[in-house]
Amino acid sequence: MTTQELWGEAPHLQLKERVYLHLKRAIVNLELPPGQSLREAELAERLGVSKTPLREAFVQLEKDDLVRIVPYKGAVVAGYDHEDLKEIYELRELLQGACAREAAERISAEDLGELARVIRASEEAVAAGDQDGLPALLDTFDRIIYRQTRNRRVRQLIENIQAHLERIGRLTIDIPGRLGASVTQHSYIYEAIVQRDPAEAERRMRNHIASVMADQLATFGDTGPPGTRH
């Protein structure tokens, strides 16, 4: 990203906030992978900013549990250990299950149509072997489901862990068969929503999340997968 692009991004925000959002997006998208050192001088030169907004961004990212600041070593992109993943998936199962239940109860025709388009596009991507396009489609499916809740506190919890949900999702991409399985499971959830069956929609969603968690935890070996803590 050039300095001009950084300044053009969300111009109503202060520079430190734009630097923070840029780094957060890069971490979530795995452009800055877990374990990578965030060298101030290198980043400052690349972004065309001083070290001050970078350091302020690092502090905020540490609060988000996306960066660890190590004394005498600087900032490092944080990863996850076995317990981190288990806790996040268990919370996701509860939250997204509740959202799926509400979707079956009251989803609008517009959102239902959008879900149908996402499911169709996802199935076409799997059939075409398009691995690159699937993560965005799976994210879109989740966002549609999340916005069905009317519970303000549930929405706040989702917002608080959204970055981790997206990043962990990207860490499952290389698990053999995982993306295709998620598309199939999304289709089953969609069917329950279309049938306006809240209990079944929640059950299928929770089974889906449990399935993803099992696949990702199964990738742990002696040193753990790419997203583990260092």
Q: Give the tens place of pLDDT for each residue, 173-222.
A: 889 999 999 999 999 999 999 999 999 999 999 999 999 999 999 986 53
CATH fold, domain 3-77, is Arc Repressor Mutant, subunit A (1.10.10)
Q: Which residues contact 82 (CB under 8 A, 6 or more apart)?
A: 217, 220, 224, 228
pLDDT at 12 over 80: no
Angle in degrees, CA 213, 22, 9, rounded to 5: 135
Calpha distance 65→26 (Å, rounded):
14
Res. 69: pLDDT tops 60 = yes
Taking alpha carbons only, the member of 198, 182, 116 closest to residue 149 is 198
Mean pLDDT for 67-74 is 89
Q: Where are the domains of the chain?
A: 3-77, 82-217
Lowest-confidence pick of 106-120, 154-168, 192-206: 154-168
| Residue closest to 170 by CA, chosen among 193, 201, 136 | 136
The token pair that represents 218 in the structure block = 């199964």
pLDDT band at 230 (very low <50, low <70, confident <90, very high): very low
| Burial of 97 (C-beta count, 10 Å sphere; 0-12/13-18/19+) | buried
Question: Average pLDDT, stretch 75-85?
Answer: 93
Fold of the CATH domain 82-217? Four Helix Bundle (Hemerythrin (Met), subunit A) (1.20.120)
Which helix (H) or strand (E) segment is 63 a member of? helix 51-63
Sort residue 71 into left (φ over 0), alpha (ψ -120 to 50) or beta. beta
Q: Which residue has the higher pLDDT, 160 or 121?
A: 121
- This prediction has a pTM of 0.82
Nearest by Cα to 125 from 204, 74, 174, 182 = 182
Q: In the beta sheet, which residues pair with residue 68?
A: 76
